[in-house]
């Protein structure tokens, strides 16, 4: 397994060699946020969840290109899982979560969009449009988890379970193995998603009992 320094150098290389892709992903997310929050568009759970697989595929692609098969495999798996789950989930309009989950989700999206690590710049404004969402794991997971929190799981408890596991793993790994202490925010998001998931499970059990 690569050393902590080798992992950090690999992540830093991705973020600073592919700035144009980071800017592109920021543009995509800002457009999506504008449509959801300002224009008040209400896409279906199916559509939004399927679209959230795309930045995960992007992270997988950059991991493979940087010679990091571990992240490449894991993010290929989760990206395919989210895409398939999105295609299979219900076609109902998205629903906003309760306040504490909505606020937590907004924090997670904002954190992922301005992820304050790895980017080499003296201009703090640059974090608003060129940090690493869509390129490396933690900020991308933060944004995806944020959307899932804001929009009440997007109809898939299985995606929520997977993201809780991935969020905790990458958050804990970042903090305790790599010394990237800002990844504690990802741990917070994963925990909040776990709380939201716990509220879903009794409902699922009740529906199963009714069918039986």
The model's pLDDT over 144-196, given as tens digits with 9 standing for 90+, comes to 999 999 999 998 999 999 999 999 999 999 999 999 999 999 999 999 999 99
**Residue 119 pLDDT exceeds 80:** no
In a domain, 205, yes or no: no
Domain span at residue 32 reads 4-199
If we measure between CA atoms, which residue out of 97, 95, 113 comes closest to residue 28? Answer: 113
Average pLDDT in the chain: 90
| Phi and psi at residue 44, to the nearest 5° | -80, 160
In a domain, 212, yes or no: no
Compute the distance between CA of residue 76 and CA of residue 120 in angstroms, rounded to an integer. Answer: 27
Q: Which residue has the tokens 């592109």?
A: 24
Who's near 187: CB < 8 A, 6+ residues apart? Answer: 167, 168, 171, 172, 175
In a domain, 211, yes or no: no
In a domain, 122, yes or no: yes
**Residue 101 pLDDT exceeds 70:** yes
19-33 vs 53-65: helix axis angle to the nearest 10?
A: 170
Q: What is the pTM of this model?
A: 0.92
According to the model, what pLDDT value does residue 212 have?
40
In a domain, 207, yes or no: no
In a domain, 118, yes or no: yes
**Residue 26 pLDDT exceeds 50:** yes
Number of domains in the chain: 1
Who's near 29: CB < 8 A, 6+ residues apart? Answer: 109, 113, 133, 143
**Residue 2 pLDDT exceeds 80:** no
In a domain, 174, yes or no: yes
């Amino acid at each position: 397994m690569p050393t902590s320094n080798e992992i950090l150098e690999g992540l830093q290389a991705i973020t600073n060699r592919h700035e144009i892709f980071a800017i592109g992903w920021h543009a995509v997310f800002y457009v999506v946020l504008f449509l959801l929050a300002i224009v008040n568009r209400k896409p279906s759970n199916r559509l939004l969840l399927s679209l959230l697989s795309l930045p995960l595929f992007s992270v997988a692609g950059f991991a493979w290109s940087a010679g990091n098969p571990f992240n490449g495999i894991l993010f290929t798996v989760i990206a395919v899982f989210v895409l398939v789950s999105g295609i299979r989930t219900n076609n109902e309009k998205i629903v906003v979560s309760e306040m504490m989950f909505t606020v937590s989700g907004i924090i997670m999206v904002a954190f992922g969009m301005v992820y304050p690590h790895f980017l080499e710049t003296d201009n703090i404004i640059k974090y608003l449009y060129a940090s690493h969402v869509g390129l490396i794991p933690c900020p991308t997971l933060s944004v995806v988890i944020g959307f899932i929190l804001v929009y009440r799981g997007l109809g898939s408890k299985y995606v929520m379970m997977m993201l809780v596991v991935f969020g905790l793993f990458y958050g804990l790994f970042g903090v305790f193995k790599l010394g990237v202490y800002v990844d504690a925010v990802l741990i917070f998001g994963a925990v909040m998603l776990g709380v939201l998931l716990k509220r879903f499970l009794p409902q699922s059990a009740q529906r199963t009992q009714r069918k039986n």
